[in-house]
Chains A and B, each alone.
Chain A
């Protein structure tokens, strides 16, 4: 629930005039077309309704897409995990396939808001709200996931690496719907993790978050792939590509980990806000990247003990 300026008084009545509950994607697309940008999609509403109450968003109609069966499925086919946009966080946490094939996403989702929020909030909603602090986005970046976007013209697929344009901004057009999130199964010997630093453990936005994916050959100990992403330290979540490069082709060592963490620090552009200063965030990027790699060592149990 990202906030800009806060108003002390909240309007009791929300500004929309129609609440339309649709049963199919086609119906939703038709309504978006008819309203020409004056309708907004809603799933759990955990970000949207507070934004409307604070007057940050005014639309004529809300289109509730949680009743579309196809958007409520989690399935695994042809080596790809597919999660419907309106699957709730609570359901993701209960999904063994998400835990097995996308551990860092599972960890991110588990740390969103509170159980109450997770019971109604959805994966698609967390993504489309496009907060730089969204807990699902750094994981989706290291998993190299992509968005399936539907419109009346058909479907297109956009990797999450190019899905976000800035805080609250995505590539989605006014008549498009995020339908599904696709995540390729990570290859053997790769492990992922997501770490979030908040002011407290429950119900908080991340001050800094880090997701990593590392793949290390268990025999030679050489790192074959490395992906690192950072949340809350730039206008969108970002990949720390220079830090990643340091790992590839090298053996993990204390000095390498430290150097990579420092490099990642140089790749972010944090701001100071009411939750933390830019300087603190930058410092914590280093700490969290180091910690995430150590977590990888524990998780991969690759004989580093």
Chain B
């Protein structure tokens, strides 16, 4: 049993099909950063507590440090690099910029993807629901207020439509 069988996985990352050969212990976050060069996904705690590595897994926000890469075979992953469309920033990204909802930037990808997941499921969230949605992403610059305001602003301009 000592053989570490590598396996070929096929997944759709940011709309593109990719194939990677992975070891059983490899985690999604490392495949994204080190094999695919998508370093927008950050590594913080590696324990699912800080949310810096959040990605969308079949549309739902998850900590990519807790997902063995083999589990992503045949699945869809969206990282922060996949949020812009045709060179246009996503409305959430634009609003984060407009309001200065970014300080050091380390939590920003996780914040944006959590917000995207929230607005996809609930285009008109309450303040409480916004707070809840980003509760799994830690910002140590204490910048939550502007982040919340940015998400609220996008939700208002969307007027219930999908973004």
Question: Could you tell me which A residues sit within 8 Å of B by CB distance?
Answer: 1, 10, 12-19, 21, 44-46, 49-50, 53, 60-62, 64, 66, 90, 113-117, 119-120, 201-203
* Interface of A, helix, strand, loop or mixed by DSSP: loop
When the two chains form their complex, are residues A17 and B2 in contact, meaning their CB atoms are under 8 A apart? yes
* CB pair A116 B61 closer than 8 Å: yes
A62 to B49, CA, bound (A): 22
Q: Are B25 and A45 in contact (CB under 8 A)?
A: no
Of the listed stretches B64-72, B76-84, B89-97, B149-157, name the one at the interface; the rest are far from the partner chain. B64-72
In the complex, are the beta carbons of B61 and A13 less than 8 A apart?
no
**Can you show 18 pairs from A to B with CB atoms below 8 A apart?**
A13-B25, A14-B27, A17-B4, A18-B1, A19-B71, A45-B68, A49-B48, A50-B46, A53-B47, A113-B136, A114-B51, A115-B61, A115-B114, A116-B114, A117-B48, A119-B62, A120-B57, A202-B131
Extra A-B contacts (12), CB below 8 Å, given A10-B47, A19-B25, A119-B57: A17-B24, A19-B68, A114-B135, A115-B61, A115-B118, A115-B136, A116-B137, A117-B48, A120-B57, A202-B131, A202-B132, A202-B135
Chain A residues lying within 8 Å of B63, measured Cβ to Cβ, are: 116-117, 120
In the assembled complex, which residues on chain A have CB atoms less than 8 Å from the CB atom of B68? 19, 45, 62, 64
Whether the Cβ atoms of B1 and A60 lie closer than 8 Å is: yes
Which of A16, A113, A116 contacts B25 (CB under 8 A)? A16
With CB as the reference atom, state the residue of chain A lying closest to B65: A49
B10 CB to nearest chain A CB (Å)? 14
Convert B121-148 into 0s and 1s, putting 1 for each residue whose CB lies closer than 8 angstroms to a CB of A. Answer: 0000000000111011100000000000
B104 is an interface residue with CB less than 8 A from chain A: no
For chain B, give the interface size range: 35 or more
The residues of B with any CB-CB pair to A shorter than 8 Å are 1-5, 24-25, 27, 30, 46-49, 51, 54, 57, 60-63, 65-68, 70-71, 114, 117-118, 131-133, 135-137
Taking the nearest CB of chain A, how far is it from the CB of B137, in angstroms?
A: 8
Q: How far is the CA of A130 from the CA of B61 in the complex (A)?
A: 26
Which of B57, B60, B117 has the most chain A CB within a 10 Å cutoff?
Answer: B60
Q: What residues of A have a CB within 8 angstroms of the CB of B25 in the complex?
A: 13-17, 19
Secondary structure of the B contact surface, majority rule: mixed
Question: How many inter-chain contacts with C-beta < 8 Å in the A-B complex?
Answer: 96
Distance in angstroms between the alpha carbons of A90 and B118 in the assembled complex: 13
A1 to B47, CA, bound (A): 9
CA distance A21 to B24 in the complex (A): 11
The answer to whether B24 touches A19 (Cβ under 8 A) is yes
- Residues of B close to A53: CB separation below 8 A: 46-47
A263 to chain B, nearest CB (A): 35
Most buried by B among A50, A64, A114: A114
Q: Are B54 and A116 in contact (CB under 8 A)?
A: yes
Among the interface residues A15, A64, A202, which one has the most CB atoms of the partner chain B within 10 A? A202
Q: Which residues of A sit under 8 angstroms from B46, Cβ to Cβ?
A: 10, 50, 53
Interface centre among A53, A115, A120, A203 (most CB of B within 10 A): A115
State the Cβ distance, A75 to closest chain B Cβ, in Å: 23
